[in-house]
Amino acid sequence: MLNSFEAATDLLDKRSRIYADRPDIPMAGTLVGWKNIVSFLHYNDHFKQCRRLMHGLVGTFASLKKLHHIHEQETHKFLKAILAKPEELEHIIMQ
């Protein structure tokens, strides 16, 4: 618990790099193999570089609009696969 605005500013703004990291999540990171997914990366230079690259690709409405046709195509492909073989839903999702 912080008792003053100054203490909160000092900890959360000036020293945010110390407190901005994420905990290790063994199930998602090691066992499932998602340790290199941006959501699970530790807060460091590699994380910042990945975030910068992601923002350039999907960080604005204009950049997302460029990818809309791909979303449409993949959604149609996904739905057709489910209609063709609904019993294989789990396998289709994992592809």
Check residue 74 and give its pLDDT.
Answer: 96
CB atoms within 10 A of CB 48: 11
Q: 34 and 17 in one domain?
A: yes
pLDDT at position 83 is 97
Using CA atoms, how far apart are residues 62 and 49, in angstroms rounded to an integer? 21
> Does 1 share its domain with 31?
yes
What is the model's pTM?
0.54
Give the pLDDT score at 1.
74
- Give yes or no: residues 38 and 16 share one domain: yes
Give the mean pLDDT of the chain: 88
List phi, psi (to 5°) of 54. -65, -40
pLDDT at 80 over 80: yes
Domain of 92, in residue numbers: 67-95
What pLDDT is attached to residue 39? 84
C-alpha span between 84 and 77 (Å, rounded): 11
- Contact (CB, 8 A) for 8 and 14: no
**pLDDT tens digits for range 9-54:** 888 787 777 777 778 888 887 888 888 888 888 888 999 999 999 9
Residues 16 and 39 occupy one common structural domain: yes
- Distance, in Å, from the CA atom of 60 to the CA atom of 67, rounded to the nearest integer, reads 11
Q: Is the pLDDT at 2 greater than 90, yes or no? A: no
Does 72 lie in the same domain as 54?
A: no
Task: Tell me: do 44 and 6 sit in the same domain.
Answer: yes
